[in-house]
Amino acid sequence: MMAPALYSGLVTHHRLRPRVHRLAYRIYSLLLDLDRLEEFDSRLRWFSLDRFNLFSFHRRDRGDGSGRPLREQVEAAMRAGGVEPDGGRIFLLTMPRLLGWAFNPISVYYCCRCSGELAALLYEVDNTFGERHAYMIPVEDAEEGEVRQACRKQLHVSPFMNMELDYGFRLRAPDENLSLAIDVSDPAGLLLTAHYRARRLELNDANLLRLFFSIPLLTLRVVGGIHWEALKLWRKGVGLRAKPPPPEQFLTIVQAGAPRPVPQHRVPAHDQH
C-alpha cells in the first residue's frame, strides 16, 4: 500500500536514433500525500511546506498556477477524464525544492480509490523554458500490477525531439520499490526509453540529510545535466528543432475507453542501463 516516503535511485535514458545516446543519473524524490502535507511540515526539521528550508515543497510549484488546492485541481481533471473521485488518497511523486530551488522534469499524481486501487494517473511535465503541461489518463487495467498508458506529446521538451511523438508510460504503484518507464515513439518505432528505478526510504530527518550530502544540489544538478547531455547530442550531430509555442490548454485528457496504442518496440533488457 502506498504511503509517504523518500525514493532514491537511478534515472536512465537510452536514445536509439539518429545517434545512440545513453545517460544515467542518481536522483531522489518525495512521495507526498496531498492530505498530509501539514503533518510533515510540523514533524520534520529539514522539510517545510510553502516556506524556505533545506528541503521544501511549495504547492504553487505544481498544478495549473491558478492557486486552487491541488486536490481540487486533480479531482477536476479526474472528472474530465470520466473518473468520479470517491475521496481516495492522492499521492504526488516529485522532487523537492532544495535550498529554495525547484525543477521537476516530470511529476506524477497517483489517484487512488478508497479501496486503495489506482483510479487515474496525472503526469505533469515541465520543460526548461518555464512551461508545463499535464496529461490525465484513467487506469482501466493493470497486468500483474503494471499500468500501461499512452498519449500524444503536447509540450515541447527537448530541442532534439519532434512534436509528432507518442508517450508510452509503464509504471507500478510505489511500494518498497519505484518503477516508472517512459517510451517515446514516432512512426518509425521506438525512439527513446527512460526509466526511473528507486527504493523506498522512510521520510525522516536522518534520511533527508543523508540524501542531501550523498547527492548534493540535486535540482541544480538535474538542470545542469540536461544542458550537458544536450551539448553531447549536438556534438554527435543530432539536429536542433525550433521551439513551437506552448499548448493553449494546460491539461490533456485521455478519456476512459479511448484507444491507447502502446509502443510495441522495446529496448532489449540488457540495454536498459
Instruction: Supply the DSSP symbol for 230.
Output: H
Domain ranges of the chain: 5-265
Using pLDDT thresholds of 50, 70 and 90, give the confidence band for residue 257: low
pTM of the complete model: 0.92
- How confident is the model over 95-126, as pLDDT tens digits? 999 999 999 999 999 999 999 999 999 999 99
Strands 251-253 and 132-138, bridge-based pairing? parallel
Residues in the chain, how many?
A: 273
Can you read off the three cell numbers belonging to residue 22? 545513453
Residue 265 scores a pLDDT above 50 = no
Q: What phi and psi values does residue 43 have, to the nearest 5 degrees?
A: -90, -30
pLDDT score at 256: 62
- How confident is the model over 125-172, as pLDDT tens digits? 999 999 999 999 999 877 678 999 999 999 999 999 999 999 999 999
Residue for grid cell 521506438: 190
Can you read off the three cell numbers belonging to residue 93? 511523486
Q: With beta carbons less than 8 A apart as the criterion, state whether 236 and 156 touch.
A: no
Residue 258 scores a pLDDT above 80 = no
Gap between the Cα atoms of 37 and 31, Å rounded:
11
Sign (positive or negative) of CA dihedral 185, 190, 194, 200: positive
pLDDT score at 266: 37
User: What Rg, from alpha-carbon coordinates, does the chain have?
Assistant: 18
- How confident is the model over 189-241, as pLDDT tens digits? 999 999 999 999 999 999 999 999 999 889 888 889 998 899 999 999 999 99
Percent of the chain with pLDDT over 70: 93
Q: With beta carbons less than 8 A apart as the criterion, state whether 149 and 121 touch.
A: yes
Look over the chain and give the mean of its residue pLDDT values, rounded to a whole number.
91
